[in-house]
Amino acid sequence: MHLTALQSLLIGMIVVSSLAFLSVCKRDSVARLMLKPLTTLLITLLAASFIDQLSGPFQSAALLITAGLIFSLAGDIFLQLQTKWFRFGLASFLIAHLAYICAIGMPGGSAPFIGGHWIAAAIALCGLVAIYTPMHRHLARERVPVALYAVVIAALLFVTLLQWLNGGSLILLVGVILFSISDSLLAANRFVRPWPSAQYQVMSTYYSAQLLIALSLAELTG
């Protein structure tokens, strides 16, 4: 059976991500350092495979999502290093979120949903409160950068909800929600209280999120 490039990348991503989970289980830090970014790299290549199939604003959106995945890859590496690299990881993911916001805000879609801005804003604001409030008192020097990051997550939720209300991608919406959950779990584990299964929960929501965001580009090729 002949596999397409997309199928090969999907299979590769599943295999490598499974090995990444195993490396966490085995507490193999060297393997984890290689396998976690490699999983994101495969998702990045998957997203990049759609660029040539698109044109106009859709192609620009694919380029921005691919750029966001590249910065996410950098963030994966920084967050696995010593604590002093945490801000670099945060900055990398902040840029990734901004790239996604620009991509999702590209022109297109159906007629605006009446009241959609207010609905999306209300839900995003609730998400911001839910993400930042529990960890606020646990933050010290990181209070400002984490607050800024939380605002950008809320902005990403807003534009994604708005595009969905206007007839956009449900796959993309689920991906962004999972990304927000992953960020929240990561922050809670780091700043509030660590728990044994945190890494597995963060990785499962993170990889699922990035994969769905990348696969949402397939809907634009139709």
pLDDT in tens, 116-164: 677 777 777 777 777 666 666 666 676 777 778 888 898 999 999 888 8
Length of the chain: 222
Domain residue extents for the chain: 5-221
pLDDT digits (tens, 9 = 90+) for 74-125: 999 998 886 778 889 889 999 999 999 999 987 554 445 556 677 777 777 7
Number of C-alpha atoms within 13 angstroms, CB side, residue 44? 18
C-alpha to C-alpha distance for 97 and 99, rounded to whole angstroms: 5
